[in-house]
Structure 1
Amino acid sequence: MLSLMRKNVRSFLVKAIISIIVLAFIGTIFLVWGVGGERAKEKGRAIATIFGEDVTHLEYATEYRQLYEYYQNQFKDHWSPEMAERMQLKKMALDNVINRRLLTHEAIKQGIVVDEKEVLAKIQSMPIFQQNGRFDSQVYAQVLEYGMHMDPATFEDQIKKSLLIDRLREKVRGGIKVSQAELLDAYTQQNEKVEADYVLFTPATFIPQVTVSDDEVRSYFEKNKQKYQLPRQRKIRYIYVACQQVKNSLTVDEESIKKYYETHETQYQLPKQVRARHILIKTDPAADVAKKEEAKKQAEALLQRIKAGEDFAKLAREFSQDPGSASQGGDLGYFGQGRMTPAFEKAAFALPKGGLSEVVESPFGYHIIKVEDIQEARTKPIEEVREQIKSQLLDEKAWEAAENEAYALVRSFYKAGRLEDVAVKAGYAIGDTEFAEDAKLVPGIGPYEEVVKSAFSLKKDDVSMPIRAGAGFYILRLVEEIPARVPELDKVKDKVVMDLKKEKAEAKAKEVAEELRGRLKSAPADLASVAGSYQLTVSNTGEVSHNGFIKGLGQNEELSKALFSLREGEVTPVIQTSRGYCLAVLKKRIGVDLKKFAEEEPRLREQALRTKEYQMFQTWLERLKKENNIVVDYNQV
């Protein structure tokens, strides 16, 4: 059966469909790692070894790109390279590759089997390979070849491994149970609440009371010299190969433009659109029948005036209650299907040009719609998009040509020995940066992560591989380095004095907090009256759950635990928070509703089972890693 699916049926229609379907699957590995020749050799070395088999940069890069695009689609405009860095996406990608290899090996070792029929059923169930809800072998062949750049045998092997891992997960997770006591404990953690009054002792309040002597400053500096160490600095010389520079000499032939248009024709399809005006008489969704009927009658009266010949736009300006379009005579501009509420859309798209609707009800109220113009669905002809396609293909060729040129310059350097000679011979200018500090942008180049990483890993007089950044590729050479060093005290004295004052102010804040707590413990009193004698303000936490958000303080696990351990009227220990030291007195405790717990128990049990299964599997996986000889070089990612 699988062999039948592998027939490489080529059809224009399927190619057009694929151009849409595979957007989420296409990995732009070549833009990240490069292809061919020296680049393939450079990036082909192993970054991990599992059971004697290597994991290469190419395998890792494929996984990384898929992860990157997944999160990019999830977060959309909020996504950024910095988020990828914070999420440790590179490590996550490498771990995924390693885990997949490890789990596949373990599944086979445990005798788990997946046959061809199961692989076939899984593939046929995937929406990406279906047309009109049914599996299509043409779409399958085309998606693999043109979208995923993968032969069927490789893809089917990946599906088989995926099914093996799923079976292994089920086997490992089997038999897990959750007791009612565990559920009640989890429910209590989420729903039990406390409320307390607290006083905050901020170090900044005590800074004016603190004095420091010269001897104290010198002693503090001697003990904390590393705190004031200046980072190493590097000066970099570079060649920049700009895409635009090589683009000027490139051309794109008509055949390439035509071929691109044919395989991406769906990109140039324009759906049917209408341009309409409307008058809206609003209704409140909660309004009673009488008020809705009154609004409807008002809309019907306006409709009769329009039918009698009055100007639609003028009436819209005067009576429409849509603030976005009333001032424009009710003009909504052009819109396609899916933009308006269903009832409005159905009426608008059913009207001819110049047509007037009856009164249409929507969740917003009652509408009168007039269609001003209709643009039928069409596909932009190649003449209309030729320049757009040409520009896109030129950009792609320019990136490839610039990359090839950059690698050629590196090869020339290893032959000639001087970056300056290579640059002059090839007609490129040499750039010199100012001194740059570790983990910061490289002056004259920019805050490009790979540029900074390379600039601070180069050895003296060596050159980097080409680095894609901005609108081209950089080749770097280390010219000079100033090692990390500790400055003389007089260079940083102001900072040292302030740091010492902050330290003493923090100690003073804690001292006063402990003193106030002692007074409360020895002679129980109202927190407000005791705090007032220190000219401090009492705040309230609001009702907070275990490790929940505390008003004015945020989350603080230590304070939360202390509050839940108290009886009403008792005082917490002095606890450090992000804003200073805190002292709190418990006002009340709010227990859980056991009746509500019983109602929610099925949902809680399902949730707890999933959590416990995941935790158990992760623990088992970590143990499996330790038991096997796996060598990983995270420095390469």
Structure 2
Amino acid sequence: MRSYTKALSVTLWLVIFAFIGTTFLVWGFRSASGPGGLDPIAAVEGEKIPYAEYQQAYQRKYRQYQESLGDKFDEKILERLNLKAQVVEGLIGRRLLLHEARRLGIVISPDELAAEITAIPAFSDATGFKQDRYIRALQSVRLTPEKFEEGLREDLLIRKVEEWVKGAVHLLPDEAREAFRFNRASVKVEYMLFSDPKVQQATIQKVAGLAKDKKPWEEIVKASGLKPLISDFFSWNRDLPQVPDQERFKEASLAMERGAISQVIQGPKASYLLRVIDRKDPGPADFEREQAQFSNGLLGRKREQVFADWVHQVRGRAKVKIETANL
């Protein structure tokens, strides 16, 4: 981004996109040109989203998939990904976050906006920000400063909302240590595989009841009529080729102590009941060595999950109407 060239009209969007990087990035342009430009595709708390804005966002998303997939790009892939719904939900999500920003009283001051603009390398030379370069750069992509700054202000509001939510999330005492133990452990299990849950439903219910009543493993196995399988030691990083639903299986296994018997684990392809035969946990020295990096990563993932859940809740209680006929 530091080597500003004559090809600015081609690269400016990539520069701005990389610099802003918000969750629901659509730039806030309100152009109503083109077919269907005045027809709303949705309304969020009474605020309409025009078709033109949806069309621009759809084209950007389309190009992203086209560039990332290269020769493998196919229109049918977009149908499977339900690209239209992705774009509409992205636009709705953006509006919802802007509504939340107003509700929370979050604002962007003129100084904050100016600082963000002057920090974009495309608008500066070796001596710093240049107003004429800023104007020419926007003109090259047919944007007025007012339009650009409107979109940028919205992006900063969304960023502030995200920071507000994530800033309230912290790790609980010993949360990192327990997560490290779970993540770095390895276990060996004995398990029953129900490869056809529909046909084996009666048996599954029987063993589930015995497990719930904390009956001995041998009694549960006898009631199942199955021969248990025994795994080697495995961890998150080691695959289990003989297990169709590895993620669910590992998640249940690694969370259990030695000798514990699970409830019935239902995966997309099969069901399981298992007992942990043995367990190896990482030592204190392993945690101390990786504590800082692991804790930072865990906190980041926790904040992302909390933010995603919060957005989902906001979406659930909002008044949203999608005009499917206009898409």
TM-score, normalised to structure 1's length?
A: 0.39
1:155 counterpart (145, 148, 153): 148
Local SS of the residue matching 2:7 = helix
In 1, are the aligned partners of 2:262 and 2:274 still within 8 Å (CA)? yes
The answer for the alignment partner of 1:597 in structure 2 is 287
Distance 2:200 2:102 in 1: 61
Identity between Structure 1 and Structure 2 (%):
23
Residue number among 7, 23, 36 corresponding to 1:17 in the alignment: 7
C-alpha distance in 1, partners of 2:220/2:310?
Answer: 54
Residue 44 (structure 2) aligns with: 50
The CA distance in 2 between the partners of 1:548 and 1:193, in whole Å, is: 9
Q: Does 1:102 align with 2:96?
A: yes
Q: Deviations over 1:36-85 (max 9, x none)?
A: 7xx62x35311112343310111112222233334544555555544444
Task: Tell whether the 8 Å contact from 1:547 to 1:561 is kept in structure 2 after alignment.
Answer: no
Residue of structure 2 in register with 1:324 after alignment: none
Q: What corresponds to 1:183 in structure 2?
A: 176
For 2:277 and 2:67, the matched residues in 1 are separated by 47
RMSD, aligned CA: 4.4
CA contact (8 A) 1:198 1:584 kept: yes
What is the match of residue 362 of structure 1? none
CA distance in 1, matches of 2:127, 2:67: 24
Given candidates 58, 70, 78, the residue that maps to 1:64 is 58
Cα distance in 1 for partners of 2:306, 2:262 equals 36
Deviations 1:503-556 (A, max 9, x none): 7xx449969x98xxx99715999xxxx95xxxxxx8653333369742321415
Residues 15, 142 of structure 1: 8 Å contact kept: no
Instruction: Report the Cα distance in structure 2 between the residues aligned to 1:105 and 1:581, rounded to whole angstroms.
Output: 44
User: Contact conserved, 1:546 with 1:564, CA < 8 A, in 2?
Assistant: no
8 Å contact kept, 1:192–1:545: yes
SS at 1:545 equivalent: coil
Which SS does the other structure have where 2:92 is aligned?
A: helix
Distance 2:48 2:268 in 1: 46
Q: Which amino acid aligns with 2:252?
A: K
Is 1:553–1:578's contact at 8 Å kept on the other side of the alignment? no
Count of aligned residue pairs for this structure pair:
298
Secondary structure of 1:544's match? coil
Q: Distance in 2 between matches of 1:142 and 1:74?
A: 30
Structure 2 distance, partners of 1:140, 1:108, is: 29
Residue of structure 2 in register with 1:192 after alignment: 185
Give the aligned partner of residue 252 of structure 2: 561
| Shift in Å, 1:174 | 3.4
Q: Are residue 173 (structure 1) and residue 163 (structure 2) matched?
A: no
Amino acid across the alignment from 2:92: I
Q: Considering only CA atoms, is the larger Rg found in Structure 1 or Structure 2?
A: 1
In the TM superposition, residue 167 of structure 1 has moved relative to its aligned partner by 2.6
3-state SS of paired residue (2:8): helix
Once the two structures are TM-superposed, the CA of residue 608 in structure 1 deviates from its matched residue by: 2.7
SS, match of residue 242 in structure 2: coil
- Kindly indicate which of the two structures has a greater share of residues assigned to strand: 1
TM-score for both structures, normalised by structure 2: 0.70
1:194, 1:564 within 8 Å by CA — same for their partners in 2? no
Task: Verify the 8 A CA contact 2:253 2:276 in the aligned structure 1.
Answer: no
Using a 3 Å threshold, how does the CA distance of structure 1 residues 81 and 24 change in structure 2: closer, same or farther? farther
Give ranges in structure 2 of 5+ residues lacking alignment: 17-31, 208-214
**Residue 164 in structure 1 maps to residue 161 in structure 2:** no
How has the CA–CA distance of structure 1 residues 543 and 130 changed in structure 2, closer, same or farther, with 3 Å as cutoff? farther
Aligned runs of 1:207-606 on 2, under 5 Å?
506-507=199-200, 521-522=218-219, 531=227, 541-545=231-235, 549-554=239-244, 555=246, 557=248, 561=252, 565=256, 567-568=258-259, 586-606=276-296
Tell me how far 1:583 sits from its aligned partner.
Answer: 6.5
Structure 1 equivalent of residue 29 of structure 2: none
Deviations 1:2-53 (A, max 9, x none): xxxxxxxxxxxx9942244247489xxxxxxxx97xx62x353111123433
> Does structure 1 conserve the Cα–Cα contact (< 8 Å) formed by 2:248 and 2:265?
no
CA distance in 1 between partners of 2:109 and 2:216 (Å): 75
In structure 2, give the amino acid aligned to 1:179: L
Contact 1:103 1:165 in 2 (8 A): yes
Shift of 1:591: 1.5
What letter is aligned with 1:181? Answer: D
Say if 2:299 is the partner of 1:609: yes
Letter in 2 for 1:521: E
Asked if 2 retains the 8 angstrom alpha-carbon contact of 1:202 and 1:509, the reply is no
AA aligned opposite 1:182? E
Residues 177 and 287 of structure 2 are in contact (CA less than 8 Å); yes or no, is this contact kept in structure 1?
Answer: yes
Correspondence for 1:125? 119
* Conserved? CA contact 2:217–2:275, under 8 Å: no
Conserved in 1, the CA contact under 8 Å of 2:186 and 2:254?
no
Residue 131 of structure 1: CA displacement? 4.5
C-alpha distance in structure 1 between counterparts of 2:52 and 2:133, whole Å: 26
**Aligned pair in 2 of structure 1 residues 187, 145: CA closer, same or farther (>3 Å)?**
same
